[in-house]
């Protein structure tokens, strides 16, 4: 049956009414109906969706990256920032544990962390922060225009919340991760807090060629 999915946001700053409405409007996704022959993902099956098709960013080593670069692997795409106090390190830790649970199959998975805070998240910082959770993880960064295009393509919203000093701001942002199959098709949305078992289970299905 069709059902809506609310991609939740996070951040230490409080949300204003406008951004709350924007988050709700941007995050509702219509999920295609699934019959008994559909793969039994633990997270939300969004197979066949018309968004989340591509990105063009640079990795933390400065190499231009698109989704096609990872063809043949299952891909996890997650948006966040290195100064995030809770959601981002929690999700990256869950993904690192999922890689351990996948064992040898983890070599066929690529986790990508897209920063929504390019002002502070330099490639040098991403190069230290992201692989600290797992050496295979890659940080992705773009200029303001590239980030806006990517966020729009993936229905992600983000907003700076001022801190006590100019450099102490936080970022409210959509939480949740997208899973692609080895053919580069967007298949699954994993809500924040789902846990490593959900990631490991659904990635294993994608690696086995779930149609």
Global pTM reads: 0.82
23 pLDDT more than 80: no
Contact assessment for residue 120 and residue 146, using Cβ atoms and an 8 Å cutoff: no
User: Could you report the per-residue pLDDT of 55-91, keeping only the tens digit for each?
Assistant: 999 999 999 999 999 999 999 999 999 999 999 999 9
Cα separation values, 71 from 21, 68, 90, 99, 179, Å: 36, 5, 27, 18, 13
10 pLDDT more than 80: no
Contact assessment for residue 90 and residue 156, using Cβ atoms and an 8 Å cutoff: no
Cα separation, 84 vs 91, whole angstroms: 11
């Amino acid at each position: 049956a069709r059902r809506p999915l609310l991609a939740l946001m996070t951040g230490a700053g409080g949300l204003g009414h406008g951004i709350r409405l924007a988050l709700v409007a941007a995050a509702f996704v219509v999920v295609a109906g699934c019959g008994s022959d559909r793969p039994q993902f633990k997270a939300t099956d969004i197979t066949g969706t018309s968004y989340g098709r591509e990105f063009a960013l640079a990795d933390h080593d400065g190499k231009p990256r698109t989704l096609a670069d990872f063809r043949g692997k299952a891909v996890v795409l997650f948006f966040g920032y290195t100064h995030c106090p809770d959601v981002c390190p929690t999700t990256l830790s869950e993904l690192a544990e999922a890689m351990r649970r996948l064992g040898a199959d983890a070599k066929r998975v690529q986790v990508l962390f897209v920063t929504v805070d390019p002002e502070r998240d330099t490639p040098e910082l991403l190069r230290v922060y992201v692989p600290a959770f797992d050496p295979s993880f890659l940080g992705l960064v773009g200029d303001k225009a590239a980030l806006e295009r990517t966020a729009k393509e993936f229905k992600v919203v983000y907003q700076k919340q001022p801190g006590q000093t100019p450099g102490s701001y936080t970022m409210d942002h959509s939480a949740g991760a997208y899973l692609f199959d080895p053919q580069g098709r967007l298949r699954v949305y994993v809500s924040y807090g789902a846990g490593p078992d959900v990631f490991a289970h659904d990635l294993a299905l994608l690696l086995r060629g779930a149609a």
